[in-house]
Amino acid sequence: MKYEVYLDTVFLIQFVMNYCVFMMTASIMKLITSRLRIILAALIGAIGSCFMFLPVGLNGYVKFILVFVLWIAASTRIAFCVRGRRQYFSMLLSIVAITFLLGGVAQWLMSVFSGNLAVGIWLTLIILIYGIFQYSLRQYRRQKSLFVPVTILTEVGEDACQKVSIVALIDTGNRLRENKTGKAVCIVEHGIMPPREQYDYEVTYYALGSTGATMKAQSIPQMMIHTKEGDIKCRDVMLAFYPGKISQSGAYHMILHKDYMKEE
């Protein structure tokens, strides 16, 4: 059985596919590169794919090794600045995995739409999958970046202090202020901190369907917020103690006020 293969179509599909794969690899591994290098690597990869269909008298397995081993290795070198063998092989594994994932999803979509699709629709599917992936990855990282580890320094006696380490949610919509001092308030679950006999402050908050409720609050000497950019040291922090669970899933136990995210 003979098949007609149009090299221009193969080249175009492989170029778009390679470009998307390299861009997705850069996003996943947080690699620094340029769009020009990605385009050049995608071109080299597309040329290698066309080589598979040329009647050059080589065994099919030899062609496969040349394209999927040597050509991908060369394209990876062009697309990214490789630092060490470990990073290089990690890139190769990521590229192979993303290629199979992207191609597999595209093939499945083609089978759903009866399989006989024009080249333009095939390319649109690849670009659509790529766009959904990039958007999902950005949303995931944005959501994940809202959580930070926090170390709270609490007084448990006249000369004694205790450290409490918890995960906090950065809530830019938190505008709570303590009633008397007007200080910005962070909210923590009641059972997380050591219990006190009495509290010096109160914070009024409004929940959906309520006219207003109060939380006990206390000023603590110090709090350390651990971010990727470095630690932020906060002094004289106002904490309000919420009587229930802040997160039903237990993902975090504290809500940070945005004012404390600024270095003193």
**What is the full per-residue pLDDT of the chain (264 aa) written as tens digits?**
555 656 677 788 888 888 988 898 888 887 878 889 999 988 888 887 777 666 555 566 666 666 667 777 788 888 887 777 787 788 878 888 888 888 777 777 666 665 566 777 778 888 888 888 888 888 777 666 688 899 988 765 555 567 888 899 888 777 888 888 889 999 998 888 777 778 888 888 776 555 667 888 988 888 999 887 788 889 889 999 988 888 888 888 999 988 888 755
Contacts of 228 (CB under 8 A, 6+ apart): none
Burial 131-148 (b: 16+ CB within 10 A, else e): eebeeeeeeeeeeeeeeb
| The pLDDT value given to residue 49 | 73
C-alpha span between 45 and 73 (Å, rounded):
10
| The pLDDT value given to residue 150 | 92
Contacts of 147 (CB under 8 A, 6+ apart): 167, 168, 169, 170, 251, 252
| The pLDDT value given to residue 238 | 92
C-alpha span between 8 and 50 (Å, rounded):
9
Instruction: Delimit the domains of the chain by residue range.
Output: 7-144, 147-261
CATH architecture of 147-261: Beta Barrel (2.40)
DSSP 8-state secondary structure symbol assigned to residue 184: B
